[in-house]
Amino acid sequence: MSSVNTESGKPGCHKDTDNNAQHHNHEHGSDPHVHVDSAAHQELIIEGAGCASCVGKIESALKAVPGVENAEMNFAQRTVSVIGNAAASDLLKAVEKAGYNAKLAAAENEDDALAEKEKADQAYYKRLMKETWIALSLGGPLMAYALITGEVNVNTTTERIAWLVVGILTFGVLYFSGKHFFVGAWKSFLNHSANMDTLIALGTGTAWLYSMVVVFFPDAVPDQARHVYFEATAIIIGLIDLGLALELKARGRTSEAIKRLIGLQAKTARVIRDDKELDIAIEQVLLNDVVRVRPGEKIPVDGEVIEGHTAMAKSMLTGEPMPVEKATGDTVAAGTINKSGSILFKATRVGKDTALAQIINMVKRAQNSKPPIGRLADVISAYFVPVVMIIAVVSALTWLNFGPEPAVAFAIVSATTVLIIACPCALGLATPMSVMVGVGKAAEAGVLIRNGEALQTASKITAMILDKTGTITLGAPKVTDVLVAGEYDEQAVLRLAATLESGSEHPLAMAIVESAQERGIEMGKVSNFNAIAGHGVQAEVDGKTLLFGNEKLMRERTIELGDFVEKAQALAAEAKTPMYFAIDNQLAAIIAVADPIKEDSIAAIKRLQHNGIRVVMLTGDNRATAKAVAEKAGIKEFFAEVLPEEKSKKVQKLQMEGEVVGMSGDGINDAPALAIANVGFAIGTGTDVAIESADITLMRGSLHGLADAIAVSKATLRNIKQNLFGAFIYNVAGVPFAAGVLYPFFGLLLSPVIAGAAMAFSSLTVVTNANRLRFFKAQEH
């Protein structure tokens, strides 16, 4: 065989250890196995959390429980992800002690759990809409009366009786439509804290109490201040309930990615037991069960094909557009669709162990995780409510002491308006809503993001390190060129060469045999086989004497090569291994073998460079091969002959230069570098160790996944910043106007009703903006 320097594991080169025993070739049908952390993980559903300020209290209460390593709350989903070994009962008690209710999320069946959650959300939505109409049916006419007559004062006995009836009706609104705010405020008070419910209860409660004092004791209030605010109380409660209902409705759309992933799961499987075919629920499928899948059906569990041949559609799982051929010995993954032939396969992973189940789990955990920018909002909101209450008191005192008559009325209006407009609901939704949509969007493209921090950091990447073998290239030798000489036929040449090499286990020999098999060429029989050390091989096939090897072998046998020497040199310059093939002492062809660059690697690398990212290639291969691959891929910087332990040092070197480094690889020797990089990208067709070490997994093994992940990351972070800006504008900018800063200049004082509407629709604005991400598409260049 030829000793020309080639890819890893071939003769004459520095061995790149990332792809021998561990690498699973994507093209040969392996399906990704996603590793999920082994740390104990529990998910709680929280009830009674009203705003962003609740997040910090709940997380702090859970982190204080012995055995809890970390707790992160997703305010948008009202769930908490807890990692640690604490008992579930202790976690529930801690949440209750903090003033909220909690229950364990159902873990038995994802489909049933999602259906149960949707049913509960639908019931809550209907309840909120009912409460909204109760409140607005009273508040609306009262508001219309006030606008038409301009009179909502209490001066006569008749007016007192009329407004008393209205006050009682308004109390009914507070009870039926606003009870949950007052219950939440009371629980917060008992726990020495304050939240959104506190602000709403104080604002509407103060307005109602003041109005009732005016009704019962009008003489205790100056003539100019005998004004009632029943209409404002009812409308504020109605508008906030409406905002919560619309937010809930819009929030449901953010979990579309999870719904689609869960929808990929088959409901039943056809197994063969005791020579009988049975249709059973997928939960009843056991390891090593033999499963039959007919054309058009979903694969119910992961397995290995034992009979049949088919094409498998995997786009819904990995984002891979073309169906992948599957035959005996290939693996299949749950959720993919059998496009053509009927197959039998042996179940190798079932239940929670399937790749699809682990993907769903990874996406859910990533959606629950919190990027650093989200923690900023939590810190601010923790102090926001107490500060707002202080501002409301200061505003009221200012109006009482320095405001015009009726000072009491102005004080009540300003304090109520400040309390209502400052509710930090939108602040709490700003980050998790965008993260949920962004992570789901990435999953649709076959990009699995492990956590929120990786999602945020990926948007800042300035340098991307790419491993060569199995990342830029396919990771397995392939026949790339067959240059025939004279009258010889390519098919005939390949048949004889494959027959000659059929008994060899050498990677280059196997590549030639596989190439013949892919073309449907049947091989003959070999006789008088002889290996010529350092040169090649000789044998007889069909009565013909065959020689296959390097140039030196041909020269020794005095075989005329002509201009094929220059052709061989040109092939070698392209990182290919040229081998001469002679039949009966006549040159028949040059067959070149190489680890080819993936079809889309060059385009994907151009996308990264177009986005201003510095692309660097690392490989353990020799410099000549590395240079040829780098030039063909359009990479200007590369490091060759890099030992496995040196890869992480190269990452550190770039980090010391001020780069935010992404590292992409698929082998065991890439794991340290993946772990130390700012963001590690594992090729999903690689080893489990690499996937475990990475922050982001590319399910379809295409480098376009890198550009897609970065594009989604940037879009998500941009969306989060827009949401935070919008929330701060509503909350921070709204408070001074509510306090009356415009009154001295323009005679304007914000109405509590307008404040209620602004507060309600601020959350809706944030949720709607986050949902825009669902229509985001990464642009390919």
List active site positions: 467
Paired tokens of 420? 């209502």
C-alpha separations of 156 from 146, 170, 215, 375, 765 in Å: 17, 20, 10, 55, 44
CA proximity to 206, closest of 424, 409, 423 = 409
Q: Under a CB-based contact definition with an 8 Å cutoff, are residues 48 and 99 in contact?
A: yes
Question: Please, where are the H alpha helices in 22-109?
Answer: 52-63, 88-97
Strand ranges in 386-498 using DSSP code E only, listed in sequence order: 447-449, 463-467, 478-484
Q: Under a CB-based contact definition with an 8 Å cutoff, are residues 523 and 502 in contact?
A: yes
Q: Under a CB-based contact definition with an 8 Å cutoff, are residues 43 and 82 in contact?
A: yes
CA proximity to 447, closest of 318, 576, 309, 595 = 318
Q: Under a CB-based contact definition with an 8 Å cutoff, are residues 709 and 458 in contact?
A: yes
Q: Under a CB-based contact definition with an 8 Å cutoff, are residues 578 and 2 in contact?
A: yes
Q: Are strands 614-618 and 637-639 parallel, antiparallel or unpaired?
A: parallel
Measured from the Cβ of residue 201, the count of other Cβ atoms closer than 10 Å reads: 24
Strand partners, 480: none
Measured from the Cβ of residue 366, the count of other Cβ atoms closer than 10 Å reads: 24
Measured from the Cβ of residue 384, the count of other Cβ atoms closer than 10 Å reads: 25
Q: Are strands 661-665 and 79-84 parallel, antiparallel or unpaired?
A: unpaired
Cα–Cα dist 285/31, whole Å: 20
Half-sphere exposure of 52 (CA within 13 A, CB side): 30
Q: Residue 130 burial by CB count (10 A; 0-12/13-18/19+): exposed, middle or buried?
A: middle
Q: Under a CB-based contact definition with an 8 Å cutoff, are residues 291 and 345 in contact?
A: yes
Q: Residue 322 burial by CB count (10 A; 0-12/13-18/19+): exposed, middle or buried?
A: exposed
Q: What's at 178, amino acid-wise? A: G
Residue 290 has phi, psi (to 5 degrees) of -95, 125
First-to-last C-alpha distance (Å) of the chain: 41
C-alpha separations of 532 from 1, 529, 544, 547, 561 in Å: 8, 10, 18, 10, 19
Cα–Cα dist 664/125, whole Å: 44
Residue with tokens 């984002």: 319
B/e letters for 606-641, b = 16+ CB within 10 Å, e = fewer, are bbbbeeebbbbbbbbbbebbbbbbbeebebeebbbe
C-alpha separations of 654 from 10, 161, 660 in Å: 30, 79, 8
Cα–Cα dist 655/714, whole Å: 20
Q: Residue 656 burial by CB count (10 A; 0-12/13-18/19+): exposed, middle or buried?
A: exposed
482: CB partners within 8 A, 6+ apart: 490, 493, 494, 589, 590, 591, 592
CA proximity to 605, closest of 573, 581, 629 = 629
